[in-house]
Structure 1
Amino acid sequence: MKKIIGLLLILCAYTSVSAQKEKPNVLIFYVDDLRAELGCYGSTTAITPNIDKLASEGVLFNKAYTQQAICAPSRMSTLTGLRPETLGIYSIFTPLRKVHKDVVTMPQLFKENGYQTISIGKVYHHTMDDKTSWTTHFPKEKNSYVKPENIALMERLKAEGVKPLKGPAFEDADVEDEAYKDGRVAKNAIETLNKIKDEKFLMFVGLSKPHLPFNAPKQYWDLYDKSDFEIPSKEKPAGMYRLALSNWGELKSYYGIPKNGELDDDLTRTLIHGYHASVSFIDAQVGKVMQTLEDLDLRKNTVVIFMSDHGYKIGEYGAWCKHSNLEIDVRVPLIISRETGYKNRKFGVTSNALVENVDIFSTLVELCNLKGPVSDGKSLLPIIDFPSLEWDQFATSVYPRGTKIMGCTVTDGNWRYTEWRNSKTHEVFTSELYEHKNSLLSFKNLSGVPEYASVEKRMKTFIETQFPRNSAPFLQNDIPREKGQ
């Protein structure tokens, strides 16, 4: 009872303060394929001083999860506050507005409330999706190569009609940041901030690295010694469902990557090196934009969010992709920072509350004192003010295998339980239970093991709460892949 009364007092105090605040600006760094491989998350290899500084100025969420480990659906979920199973879009081939004409999106709501809404780089997966909701729109650019030999290679492959047209999986040209697209994204963000500094704004800065190809200026590769990287275990979890782990064709489609078999240790280290160089590259871009906020005296009334669309495997389980319900693919970095408006003012704190990317829309609606649409998420402002506050018992994600099988997964922060179901009848084909108390990785499916029966029973209760087996079939609004996509 004391705990409930305390929570009510906290929420009441928070609400009264929130309602008096001036509407803040919002700046969101939305990063592609970034797992929690950051210094502030305890990485012993990643060099990320600017993101680490941002974490020291806000709340770092240690247990944040995306709703599906693939670009388009996860981004739509963030931008609408609706889960993939609500939208019924699970593939990268279906733009939001092809299916949902009337869903109110985050930029749409903010634009209707007088904000300048700016999209720079990769925000939606489909570059022009929801285009009328942006007052300023810089479309994402295609993957770029800078080295003359790689430019010539791409021209030759194009002339030969090679599809998909993808060049080398990495590049380390000795150039300035702006030679690569994320450097230009930061430049556009800085120039735009200078133009709109006297207006209210919602700005997304979409950074495409560390998505393949791992292209970054040489100075960021030089931060690391390739020999320092360890080769991750290629072992796959014993008892894993045969469709749980997707293949890694995403990497194999790049030039120079073997089409069959495992990668040798030298190439593995080079790719891990490239991933880290790409992370340090985008860290530098974050630093430039944050310094501009300071220089323009905008930091004090700008909420800054740093987040990723999903995690990524760089050799773990012998894989190089996301596309699964595994912990390493659905757990994401999330940092929320604001300098003013705290009820319980603390900086550099970590919250172990279970939160989800789908919560971001509701959080900003409440923080900016707007009236928003019905959402599948919930506002995180109470945790931002009181990071140790008890919160949700579980977080969920989905990943389909074709149109007939749906993987439903739930975590309580220590355990991950997954059911593979018939998409229409919810019949459970098989289940998986993995322990993640001390690691993103787990190597044995413990479902059905008597020793863990009580844990599995509890996790089954959680998954049934979100995905009742007597509910309607999973909504399927995906548009079939068109020829040439």
Structure 2
Amino acid sequence: MKKIVVIVCLLISAQSLVFSQKKEPPNILVFYIDDLRAELGCYGSETAITPNIDKLSNDGIMFNKAYTQQAICAPSRMSTLTGLRPETLGIYSIFTPLRKVHKDVVTLPQLFRQNGYKTISTGKVYHHTIDDKESWTQLVVRPSKRYLKPESLKAIADLKSGGNKNPKGPAFEDADVADEAYVDGEIANNAIKMLNKYKDDKFLLFVGFTKPHLPFNAPKKYWDMHDKSKFDIPSKEKPEGMYRLALSQWGELKGYHGIPKEDPLNDDITRTLIHGYHACVSYMDAQVGKVMQTLEELDLRKNTMIVFMSDHGYKIGEYGAWCKHSNVEIDVRVPLIISRETNDKNRVAGQMSNALVENVDIFSTLTEICGLESPKSDGKSLIPVLNNPEIKWDEIATSVYARGKNIMGCTATDGNWRYTEWRDSNSHEILGAELYEHKNSLLSFENLSGNEGYKDVEESMKTLLESQFPRDAKPFPQNDIPRN
């Protein structure tokens, strides 16, 4: 009898040991950046000054070929936060909030909150501030202040007095102020407050920095970090044979006060805008550093997984164009860094992966890391890549961009080539095709579609694209009407 008792006690002790060694799910901190292209120090940029993001890249896996599902704010963010592609959600413009048409979709913060996490949103996470508010434990009010210099405020006042009810101010500003005087400094301070508030809870914290989105407003010290004269003017040449609707009219920039209507912009204003973009990136980088420092000071880094990502890429004068709103490589490629908690025994750090990954994969990655049962997703978990950055992974990454309600641009990359078909949104009839080589550059200046010398490449890419977008598929779902 005593032997039985001893054996039972040993079994109970062994079981207790196993349970005690079972890994607790981590906290999650997501830096979600607006309009950030893959041009950072850690990505090889010679002009970006981003020491804090560079440090983070050395503390995790940096993805060299990560892609967004649509190069525009609202649809790309909805895709990340639901794990569903824009063509599944049927939302392609910035005008339709998620819950207006998808009341029952389970979002990432909603799922985490249902599983005991404190879920916090600070800054720009969804494009629409009211989106999915029931999924957050705390939704910090997004700061709205933008302009500080007297001449900027006067310009806005003059526009209003002239009948413009909601004028945009200047496209850039460099007030000599402290970081928190502009929006991202306040967002960083709010994130720090949230870390202190929820440090004893299991949390999912999204920190949505707004820079380098227009207007390019940042404290003067970040402008002073960069020498305007050192910035090269990118080629304004548009790719030969490009589809007529491939690039947008960059109206987002033209809407700002003081921006000439000429196309393309002259070199002086181009260089100033490039300077402003870089200043905003450095400003945002400093705010990332402040939040990371707080994480360390609160002893939270050891059990907090970090994701640093952008909603889409951006053009700063390339092809004579600006902003995003297209399917070109520089608009759909994004920076992505994932750094696991320091107490994770499977942690790999300081490596780059060339695996083709997508923003839509973040949903499944985080739910698996935290042991949550995930609803159906269009993405897949990146844990195998985090464990082995050189693993063979997906053959393609895809994106879409609608031109009005009748034309859909479907695009795919295999990491070296980008193939795009512009289709009738209902019949899938091909209206135009583009094939660009990107083995060594984000830019390409010749559409090789139809070129006999690249026939085999085009056929291969066409097959890959149509594995995701079958020609015999139903019409693309549309729950809004995007503008052309």
Into which bin does the TM-score normalised by the smaller protein fall? over 0.9
Residue pair 1:28, 1:306 contacting (<8 A) in 2 also: yes
Which residue does the alignment assign to 1:36? Answer: 38
Decide which of 75, 78, 91 is 1:76's aligned counterpart. 78
1-structure distance, mates of 2:23, 2:165? 53
Counterpart amino acid of residue 209 in structure 2: L
**Is the counterpart of residue 125 in structure 1 residue 127 in structure 2?**
yes
Which residue does the alignment assign to 1:26? Answer: 28
Which residue does the alignment assign to 2:96? Answer: 94
Which residue does the alignment assign to 1:255? Answer: 257
Decide which of 110, 113, 127 is 2:115's aligned counterpart. 113
1:479–1:113 distance in 2 versus 1, CA, 3 Å? farther
Query: Partner of 1:282: helix, strand, or coil?
Result: helix
Once the 2 structures are TM-superposed, how far is the Cα of residue 263 of structure 1 from its aligned partner? 1.7
Once the 2 structures are TM-superposed, how far is the Cα of residue 346 of structure 1 from its aligned partner? 3.0
2-structure distance, mates of 1:419, 1:327? 14
Decide which of 333, 337, 341 is 1:331's aligned counterpart. 333
Give the TM-score normalised by structure 1.
Answer: 0.94
2-structure distance, mates of 1:354, 1:106? 22
Q: Which residues of 2 match residues 77-476 of structure 1 at below 5 A? A: 77-142=79-144, 144-162=146-164, 164-340=166-342, 342=344, 344-476=346-478
Once the 2 structures are TM-superposed, how far is the Cα of residue 192 of structure 1 from its aligned partner? 1.1
Counterpart amino acid of residue 75 in structure 1: R
Once the 2 structures are TM-superposed, how far is the Cα of residue 25 of structure 1 from its aligned partner? 0.3
Once the 2 structures are TM-superposed, how far is the Cα of residue 164 of structure 1 from its aligned partner? 4.8
Once the 2 structures are TM-superposed, how far is the Cα of residue 259 of structure 1 from its aligned partner? 1.6
Once the 2 structures are TM-superposed, how far is the Cα of residue 262 of structure 1 from its aligned partner? 2.5
2-structure distance, mates of 1:342, 1:289? 21
Counterpart amino acid of residue 133 in structure 2: K
Counterpart amino acid of residue 472 in structure 2: N
Unaligned runs of 5+ in 2: 1-17
Once the 2 structures are TM-superposed, how far is the Cα of residue 469 of structure 1 from its aligned partner? 0.5
Which residue does the alignment assign to 1:49? Answer: 51
2-structure distance, mates of 1:393, 1:370? 27
Which residue does the alignment assign to 1:4? Answer: none
Once the 2 structures are TM-superposed, how far is the Cα of residue 163 of structure 1 from its aligned partner? 5.2
1-structure distance, mates of 2:309, 2:303? 19
Query: Partner of 1:26: helix, strand, or coil?
Result: strand
Identity %: 73
Once the 2 structures are TM-superposed, how far is the Cα of residue 341 of structure 1 from its aligned partner? 5.9
Counterpart amino acid of residue 39 in structure 1: G
Counterpart amino acid of residue 96 in structure 1: L
Residue pair 1:170, 1:215 contacting (<8 A) in 2 also: yes
2-structure distance, mates of 1:211, 1:364? 26
Once the 2 structures are TM-superposed, how far is the Cα of residue 21 of structure 1 from its aligned partner? 2.0
Larger radius of gyration: 2
Residue pair 1:330, 1:397 contacting (<8 A) in 2 also: yes
1:410-467 Cα shifts (integer Å, max 9, x gaps): 0000000000101001011111000000000000000011111111111011011000
2-structure distance, mates of 1:264, 1:464? 40
Residue pair 2:403, 2:482 contacting (<8 A) in 1 also: no
Query: Partner of 2:125: helix, strand, or coil?
Result: coil
1-structure distance, mates of 2:370, 2:390? 23
Once the 2 structures are TM-superposed, how far is the Cα of residue 146 of structure 1 from its aligned partner? 0.8
Once the 2 structures are TM-superposed, how far is the Cα of residue 266 of structure 1 from its aligned partner? 1.3
2-structure distance, mates of 1:249, 1:139? 28
Residue pair 2:398, 2:410 contacting (<8 A) in 1 also: yes
Residue pair 1:344, 1:386 contacting (<8 A) in 2 also: no
2-structure distance, mates of 1:261, 1:70? 22
Residue pair 2:419, 2:434 contacting (<8 A) in 1 also: yes
Once the 2 structures are TM-superposed, how far is the Cα of residue 159 of structure 1 from its aligned partner? 3.0
Counterpart amino acid of residue 325 in structure 2: H
Once the 2 structures are TM-superposed, how far is the Cα of residue 345 of structure 1 from its aligned partner? 4.0
1:338-382 Cα shifts (integer Å, max 9, x gaps): 134656543210000000000000000000000111000000011
Residue pair 1:61, 1:353 contacting (<8 A) in 2 also: yes
1:370–1:223 distance in 2 versus 1, CA, 3 Å? same
Once the 2 structures are TM-superposed, how far is the Cα of residue 142 of structure 1 from its aligned partner? 3.0
Once the 2 structures are TM-superposed, how far is the Cα of residue 479 of structure 1 from its aligned partner? 5.9
Give the TM-score normalised by structure 2.
Answer: 0.94
Counterpart amino acid of residue 206 in structure 2: F
Unaligned runs of 5+ in 1: 1-15
Query: Partner of 2:460: helix, strand, or coil?
Result: helix
1:125-169 Cα shifts (integer Å, max 9, x gaps): 001110110111123233510112212222232233315510000
Query: Partner of 1:443: helix, strand, or coil?
Result: coil
